Amino acid sequence: MADSENLDFSKGCAFVRGQYVPIAQASIPMTDLGFLHSDATYDVVTVWDGAFFRLDAHLERFKRSCEHWRLDPGVTDPEITAILSHCVRLSGLRQSYVEMICTRGQTPWGSRDPRQAVNQFYAFAVPFVWLANEQQRANGLHLKISGVQRIPASSVDPTIKNYHWNDLTMGLLGALDEGADSVLLVNAQGQIVEGPGFNVFCVRDGSVITPDHGMLEGVTRKTVIEIAHSLDLPVEVRPVSAEEFKSANEVFISSSGGGVLPVTRLDGNAVGRGEIGAVTRQLAEAYWALHKEPSFNLPISYTPP
């Protein structure tokens, strides 16, 4: 896996078919089923202050996703760690959004048998991605509850990361058209499940509540639940109706793209008092404090090996 010299990796670095290339030059074949059929899986880990946060949990989920979709990335966890680390090292980024991907690859021309495809592993590191801008983080997000239903779990298992995002995208477009910042989707029973790239929580009478099914069980969601338990906050993981969210004292979302992010408006109406709540602030502070805990972090060496 030779590096290319005299290339500008400052905007990001990708690993493509054994080579490290600037992010703008990264590509996959048009006939890769990952592109044609969204036949792929992925995972995202963040780098903060030069260290991966909870990389082990992301690697475990990536492995589980590959096994579920019957994909073989052809690399071990230590090899993936080395590739991701080198992408970050070449970019020089101290805060980074790092993605690992396995696609189905290409079948022999004319074949519809996915077993004949040679699976491919890709990775990239780019500057850290926030799901909320600075103003939204300070004042809270405005979310729209969409009438678009999330793809049912009986069709596509939402606990396994995938690129089947058309429902999320159409819901997001509708929310943006109505002036909201992002969207929440519901299931067939009208219960809140998740948004595009994030899980969601509400706080009612001091209890932290989050949906129990129909969504990706995010690593950040897992971290928030662990933090809440450590702070002796009551936690309820159960079905949650849209009406419960609308009448909640606080609402927040969780994502690797920013951790705990406040929501102060739903469907144009104020959540609680229309300001960031105490529980949301407490959980956000505790989340970022974990980024200083050695057991949660894997430092990256920025010195060439």
Q: How many CB atoms lie within 10 A of CB 291?
A: 15
Matching fold, domains 13-127 and 134-291: no
Query: Given a cut of 90, is residue 6 above it in pLDDT?
Result: no
Computed over every residue of the chain, the mean pLDDT equals: 96
The pLDDT tens digits of the residues spanning 216-260 come to 999 999 999 999 999 999 999 999 999 999 999 999 999 999 999
| pLDDT tens digits, 175-184 | 999 999 999 9
Q: What is the pLDDT of residue 2?
A: 44
Nearest to 38 by CA among 197, 187, 164, 186: 164
**Percent over 90 (pLDDT), the chain:** 96
pLDDT surpassing 50 at residue 138:
yes
299: number of Cβ within 10 Å: 12
d(CA 36, CA 29): 10
Please give the Cα distance from 25 to 206 (Å, whole number): 49
Instruction: Give 70-127 as a DSSP string.
Output: T---S--HHHHHHHHHHHHHHHT-SSEEEEEEEE---PSTT---GGGS--EEEEEEEE
Rounded to the nearest 10 degrees, the angle between the axes of helix 219-230 and helix 55-68 is 130
- CATH number, span 13-127: 3.30.470.10
Closest Cα to residue 141, out of 43, 27, 258?
Answer: 258
% the chain with pLDDT above 70: 98
pLDDT tens, residue by residue, 148-157: 999 999 999 9
pLDDT value at position 168? 97
* Domain range annotation of the chain: 13-127, 134-291
Would the pLDDT of 304 be above 80?
Answer: no
CATH fold label, 134-291: D-amino Acid Aminotransferase; Chain A, domain 2 (3.20.10)
